[in-house]
Amino acid sequence: MQPWKMPAHALKQLYLSREASVPEVVTGMFAHIKQTEPAVDAYLTLCEESAAAQAQAIQKRYDQGEDPGLLAGVPMAVKDNLCTRNIRTTCASRMLENFTPPYNAAAVEKILAEGAILLGKTNMDEFAMGSSTEYSYFKKTRNPWNPQRVPGGSSGGSAAAVAARTAVCALGSDTGGSVRQPASFCGVVGVKPTYGRFSRYGLIAYASSLDQVGVLSQDVEDCALLTKVLSGYDPRDTTSADEKTDDYLAGLNQSVRGLTLGIPKEYYREGIHPDVRKAVEDAIGQFQTLGAAVKEVSLPHTEDCLPVYYIIACAEASSNLGRYDGVQYGRRASGYRDLSDMILKSRSEGFGPEVQRRILLGTYVLSAGYYDAYYKKAQQVRTLLKQDFDEALSQCDCLLTPVSPVTAFAFGEKSGNPVEMYLTDIFTVSVNIAGLPALVVPGGQDASGMPCGIQLVGKPFGEAVLFKIAHAFEQSTPWHSLTPKEVAL
């Protein structure tokens, strides 16, 4: 038995029944990481010593007859844009190569309070700007299903770690699909909650009106469990929502008979790979078999999603990343003439080409003479996009869509063409624009055996319905139980 490969809910039962100990599981997990990591490169920082100490402390509480928390003894990974006290947090950027935060992000606080074991920090696209984890300053993470393919991004390290079972589950962040797209590419479950459901305190900002902490896990039950842990109001985050938290686990085994799934007609367009289209069509058929109804709906402003997203996201990135000037913290260049030269050199050396591209675009759309033409208009169209979703969701319980037009692509296939890379997010960015919850569950494989997920989009604060629907699909299909053969599992 290799308990470190089990989902969190199953592992927790082993601890409670004394069939496994936390130190044994953590030791086994690090041995597995050392065996697997050379083929995957999911981690930027490992915390073996502190994890061992955590494991001993939690096991002591189990031995005393306590239940130390919902995640007690569960080995987890955290994306490297979530602050971790006294543990390096780089955003996969040269700019923050040696940054060590003095505090934990709210999401990290919550998992630690429930007894999770922090294994380490995972690789990502620099400052979460990317869809393939090719834009990390440090290294490229490889897809455990095929090392020649990308794991998706920007939470590619977290998704790859869960797929390779080098973490039981992981935290990521999602600004335009950065949890959901890698979940699809790596064959795991991923959730982006309603904007405001999880606290963003300690999440290093990319685009503040779009960013959300997200979860990656082996199955829907773990995703629901972690959503329960992470939900709740936080006064330290001014965008945190003071909304009732549902029991996301309560409806997992309920029937979906009588529910209606909306199929946005604009999402079934040219450019979708035939294998992706088949996975979604098969999922629609499976839901009908389970008793759910299917209804075509319309999102008429779909073609505006990408330009709106990249105007708003880049504008906010330009503002948020202005703080990295080489003065207070972060990289400071050497050999400068004066303050202006120091800032110029520090930012030029510290930021990679994709981050620089987005900063320049964002600065342009916010500049005098262009603000009204671009940024203001994008915000106005954002309102129209939100109204589209409100109207569509008034006719159904959730939407069922593809995650990406393609499955995991080869390294270098799209990185030379930014627009082609951006198009891989066409079905995910709209959800962030509208602030809605969305969940990705494994839904099939392409002809080469690469995973393909399906996306469920819910009503505001309707995560419980998404978990119910996703769990019914998961339990009636084999896809979530498949694991990569390319790594030593």
Quick one: pLDDT band at residue 435, thresholds 50, 70, 90?
A: very high
From CA 250, how far away is CA 247, in angstroms rounded? 6
- Is residue 384 scored above 60 in pLDDT? yes
How would you class 282 by CB atoms within 10 Å of its CB: exposed for 0-12, middle for 13-18, buried for 19 or more?
A: middle
Is 227:181 a contact under the CB 8 Å cutoff? no
Cβ neighbours of residue 187 under 8 Å, at least 6 residues apart? 145, 163, 442, 451, 453, 479, 480, 482, 483, 484
Q: What is the mean pLDDT of the chain?
A: 96
Closest alpha carbon to 472 in 253, 219, 295, 261: 253
* Structure confidence by residue, pLDDT tens digits, 202-217: 999 999 999 999 999 9
pLDDT higher than 90, residue 418: no
Mapping DSSP onto H, E and C, the string for 397-447 reads CEEEEECCCCCCCECCCCCCCHHHHHHHHCCCHHHHHHCCCEEEEEEEECC
How far, in Å, are 239, 275, 298, 442 from residue 279 at the CA level?
A: 36, 6, 21, 9
Q: How far, in Å, are 23, 85, 117, 261 from residue 50 at the CA level?
A: 12, 12, 9, 45
Task: Tell me: pLDDT of 83 over 80.
Answer: yes
Model pLDDT for residues 158-198, shown as the tens digit of each residue: 999 999 999 999 999 999 999 999 999 999 999 999 999 99
**Chain centre to alpha carbon of residue 34:** 24
Domains along the sequence of the chain with CATH: 3-261+394-481 (3.90.1300.10)
pLDDT (average), residues 363-392: 96
pLDDT band, very low/low/confident/very high, at 351 (cuts 50, 70, 90): very high
Predicted confidence band of residue 416 (pLDDT cuts 50, 70, 90): confident
Instruction: Report the pLDDT value the prediction gives residue 489, as an integer from 0 to 100.
Output: 59
Instruction: State percent of the chain over pLDDT 90.
Output: 93
| Coil vs helix vs strand at 67 | coil
The confidence score (pLDDT) of residue 420 equals 87
Pure H helices in 73-155:
106-113
For residue 487, pLDDT beyond 70: no
Q: Are strands 212-217 and 169-174 parallel, antiparallel or unpaired?
A: antiparallel
pLDDT bin (cut points 50, 70, 90) of residue 441 is: very high
Q: Measure CA 356 to chain center.
A: 23
> How large is the average pLDDT for residues 348-355?
97
Q: Could you tell me the pLDDT band of residue 488, with boundaries at 50, 70 and 90?
A: low
Mean pLDDT of 96-123: 98
Residue 439 in tokens: 């969940």
Going across the sheet that includes 75-79, the strands are: 43-46, 117-122, 75-79, 169-174, 212-217, 189-192, 438-445, 451-457, 398-402, 260-264, 293-297
Structure confidence at residue 417 (pLDDT): 85
The answer to whether residue 270 scores a pLDDT higher than 80 is no
380-387: Cβ within 8 A, 24+ apart: 381/301, 381/304, 381/308, 382/308, 382/312, 382/433, 384/301, 384/304, 385/299, 385/301, 385/304, 385/305, 385/308, 385/430, 385/433, 385/434, 386/433, 386/434, 386/435
Query: Which residues have a catalytic role annotated?
Result: 79, 154, 178
Q: Quick one: which of 278, 282, 156 has its CA closest to 216?
A: 156
71 has a pLDDT exceeding 60: yes
> pTM to 2 decimals?
0.97
**What whole-number percentage of the chain has pLDDT above 70?**
99
Nearest to 160 by CA among 137, 128, 132: 132
